[in-house]
Amino acid sequence: MLGFITRPPHRFLSVLCPGLRIPQLSVLCAQPRPRAMAISSSSCELPLVAVCQVTSTPDKQQNFKTCAELVREAARLGACLAFLPEAFDFIARDPAETLHLSEPLGGKLLEEYTQLARECGLWLSLGGFHERGQDWEQTQKIYNCHVLLNSNGAVVATYRKTHLCDVEIPGQGPMCESNSTMPGPSLESPVSTPAGKIGLAVCYDMRFPELSLALAQAGAEILTYPSAFGSVTGPAHWEVLLRARAIETQCYVVAAAQCGRHHEKRASYGHSMVVDPWGTVVARCSEGPGLCLARIDLNYLRQLRQHLPVFQHRRPDLYGNLGHPLS
């Protein structure tokens, strides 16, 4: 797996090596991996994905402008798929504003992203859209909906976040997502894309390994966790959880994140990244809005699963159907 980082668009490309940054230069840097599982194909033949990091605010049009700039940069750099974080559309000040700003999937904002995908000719992972579902009139609540668009702008999959973040973390402030959001009813089967088969999740879902195991057993090669982690849980848990999900499922993990201060009431940790199936962070964003890029090597993934066949060694007779494959 090769990875490099760019931030912000058009300013510089940096080598993804500890402690080393080279402005005004585009370089690829090989990451450590077991010697017997070295890359066998040319890196230029491997699909390139872009992971976008933004600071959403309640201003939906400004947020779209920022995201569109990153997506166009990703297309210019040759990515086949761009990942946007949870709440890419907006981050409101309170539940009432969240409900007011929300839209149905057939609304104006998603149409703009549909046109953007067609214009750029790449797939878009829209990591957490505030969706007014078909039950909006009855519930007056929304769904946190991960939408996947293909390069023609068609919606090929939707996953509604199943684990809602209702927590009180000292120093970070309370979060009660269920005040405005309904939990999704089911998981979505992995979707074939130009980068590989993608399993959809959202943020807090990463704390539940049963979900990632179910997606992996259903055929996922890439797990994606678009997020808006807080300033306390971020430094403590963000990278650890993402690397754990990659190692235990032997999948790539792609995590686009919100960063910085959204308004006077909320800030996010950032540190968007890509983790390979060995658990190595192969691309990461630095501080502030921008993007990082990584190549997905499915041959490497298959070799790793062959050499370390953990899914063949599971004992559901001892601990039940944790991560039971999707029906």
pLDDT at 319: 87
- Going through the chain in order, the beta strands assigned E by DSSP cover 2-6, 13-15, 29-30, 48-53, 81-84, 123-131, 143-149, 155-160, 166-169, 173-176, 191-193, 196-200, 222-224, 252-255, 259-263, 266-269, 273-275, 281-284, 290-295
Pick the CATH number of 46-309 from 3.60.110.10, 3.30.420.40, 3.90.1150.10, 3.40.50.720: 3.60.110.10
Q: Which of 161, 165, 177, 285 is catalytic?
A: 161
Instruction: Please confirm, yes or no, whether 203 is among the known catalytic residues.
Output: yes
Average pLDDT in the chain: 87
Which stretches in the chain have pLDDT values below 70? 1-43, 323-327
pLDDT at 33: 53
Quick check: pTM over 0.75?
yes
pLDDT at 31: 44
Q: Which of 52, 60, 67, 86 is catalytic?
A: 86
For the residues of 4-48, what is the DSSP string, one character each?
A: EEE-STTT-EEE-BTTB--TT----EEPP--GGG---S-GGGS-E
pLDDT at 140: 96
Q: Which of 80, 165, 203, 285 is catalytic?
A: 203
pLDDT at 161: 97
Domain layout of the chain by residue ranges: 46-309
CB proximity list for 14: less than 8 A, separation 6 or greater: 4, 5, 6, 7, 20, 21, 22, 23, 286
pLDDT at 6: 40
Instruction: Please confirm, yes or no, whether 86 is among the known catalytic residues.
Output: yes
